[in-house]
Amino acid sequence: MIEYIPILVLLCFAILIAVLIVGASHLLGHRISRKAKLSTYECGMQTIGPTRMKMNIRYYIIAMLFLIFDIEIMFLYPWALVTGGLKMFGFVEMLIFVAVLFVGYLYVWKKGALEWE
Amino acid sequence: MDALGFKFILFMITALVVIVSSILMATRKNPIHSALWMIVTFFAMAVIYLLLNAQFIAVAQVMVYAGAIMMLILFVIMMVNMDKGDEKDTTKAPWSFGKKMAAALLMVILLVELLFGALFYRMTARVGDYPADAVAAAGNAKTVGALLYGQYLFPFEVASILLLIGIVGAVVIAKRNK
Amino acid sequence: MFQEIPSGLCLVLSGIIFSIGAIGAITRRNVIVIFMCIELMLNAVNLAFIASGNAFSSMDGAVFVFFIMTVAAVEAAVGLAIFVMVFRLQGTVNADEVNLLKG
């Protein structure tokens, strides 16, 4: 546990500095609230309609692929640590795992989900 | 260190953070706020895993849950929620207060049962072969790897099939076919 | 120097988080928030696994949690794809509105 103390100290400092900066500007700075000051910045336009844009579904497919291959990387970490002791057996079992996921990757590729159009 | 112990105090603080942020997650009206509180919950859970000597799982929690799954959920919220009000944009009447209270009461009964079980039922099990200091000496991720690629080899290979099904299923559902 | 945390406390915390997730899953109407509450319940179960594994000095709990994470990730990928398509077909993700199995 003792080796995590620096992380705790870092966390405390990060919170302290964030609170300090925001709090100091809130307390010390003086605020002018005129109509011109609060209006949309210079070249900006008054927005019309809802400002939340609907995101494209292509982003979803990319994010989903990231999630699945992130899990694959998490499986690779412990394997990399023990593969020296497992010898050829460990190599072959990971080869099967990666090959099965490669089939999925090929499927996505052939289906054209990676293309942006 | 004092009588209570540094670990115990840290656990109590983190447990409080987990409970408060998960309550906020379940009650915020705006789903984006819910998702952000969920990330706080996941980080605090990772700290608790560290306190319970599960370093590898703590890292996996941050990488998989707080990193990847929450990113996907935020993307989908941005994709489907054009306006903030999710509970009120329905033609059907919202749940009445009594109905919500009845549901909550049911869950409070569940909670009491769980607490009763956790506090008064003495768990018995054979003590395993991996005491905390021995695992720490060998390396936490290494011990997980030795189990995962030895005893749990078959589930590991099945997990690859599961991931394959996940890829294919998500692409089949979400891909726009021309 | 650092005394261990009693495992009963971790199980109590796990029970509390599970109940919060269950209450949220029952009372909320937005399917994405319901999904997040279910993820929270999965996390509570993970915590119980880790706490018991730590109490009985066994590593099997950690391996189980790892597999649960894999299942949760696949579930997120497929489930959220379903939500996106439901929104496209029905124009809402409110659980009261989405009550037809046909598209």
**B140 Cβ partners below 8 Å, 6+ apart?**
B53, B54, B55, B56, C62
Has residue B124 been placed in a domain? no
- Number of neighbouring beta carbons within 10 Å of residue A81: 20
ipTM: 0.90
Residue B62 sits in a domain whose CATH number is: 1.20.120.1200
Number of domains chain B is built from:
2
Candidates C59, C70, C78, C89, partner chain A, best to mutate (most A CBs within 10 A): C70
Task: Write down the residue that tokens 């057996």 correspond to.
Answer: A89
If asked whether residues B14 and B77 sit together in one domain, one would say yes
Rounded-to-integer distance, Cα C35 and Cα A88, Å: 41
Q: How much is the average pLDDT of C22-46?
A: 91
Domain boundaries, chain C: 7-90
Continuous H helices in C1-103 = 7-27, 31-55, 60-90
Q: How much is the average pLDDT of C50-61?
A: 88
Encode pLDDT of A94-116 as tens digits. Answer: 999 999 999 999 999 998 878 87
Has residue B51 been placed in a domain? yes
Encode pLDDT of B56-82 as tens digits. Answer: 999 999 999 998 999 999 988 888 865
DSSP for residue C30 = B
Rounded-to-integer distance, Cα B52 and Cα B7, Å: 10
- Domain range spanning residue B35? 1-83
Has residue B13 been placed in a domain? yes
Rg (CA), chain B: 21
Which among B60, B144, B175 has CB closest to A61?
Answer: B175
Which chains neighbour B (Cβ–Cβ under 8 Å, 3 or more pairs)?
Answer: A, C
Domain boundaries, chain A: 2-40+54-111
Is pLDDT at B25 greater than 80 in this prediction?
Answer: yes
Which among C52, C62, C83 has CB closest to B57?
Answer: C62
Q: How much is the average pLDDT of B25-30?
A: 88
The CATH code for residues C7-90 is 1.10.287.3510
Scanning C68-87 for CB atoms below 8 A from B yields 69-74, 76-78, 80-85, 87
Which among B42, B76, B114 has CB closest to C19?
Answer: B114
Final residue in a domain of this structure, among B59, B83, B107: B83
List C-alpha distances in Å: B75 to A55, A62, B32, C62, C102: 8, 11, 10, 29, 26
> Is B29 buried (19+), middle (13-18) or exposed (0-12) by CB count in 10 A?
middle
- Chain C residue closest to B153 (CA)? C63
Highest mean pLDDT among A57-61, C26-30, C31-35: C31-35
**Residue-wise burial string across C68-84, b where 16 or more C-beta atoms lie within 10 A, e elsewhere:** ebbebbbbbbbbbbebb
Q: What's the per-residue H, E or C state across chain B? A: CCCCCHHHHHHHHHHHHHHHHHHHHHHCCCHHHHHHHHHHHHHHHHHHHHHCCCHHHHHHHHHHHHHHHHHHHHHHHHHHCCCCCCCCCCCCCCCCHHHHHHHHHHHHHHHHHHHHHHHHCCCCCCCCCCCHHHHHHHCHHHHHHHHHCCCCHHHHHHHHHHHHHHHHHHHHHHCCCC
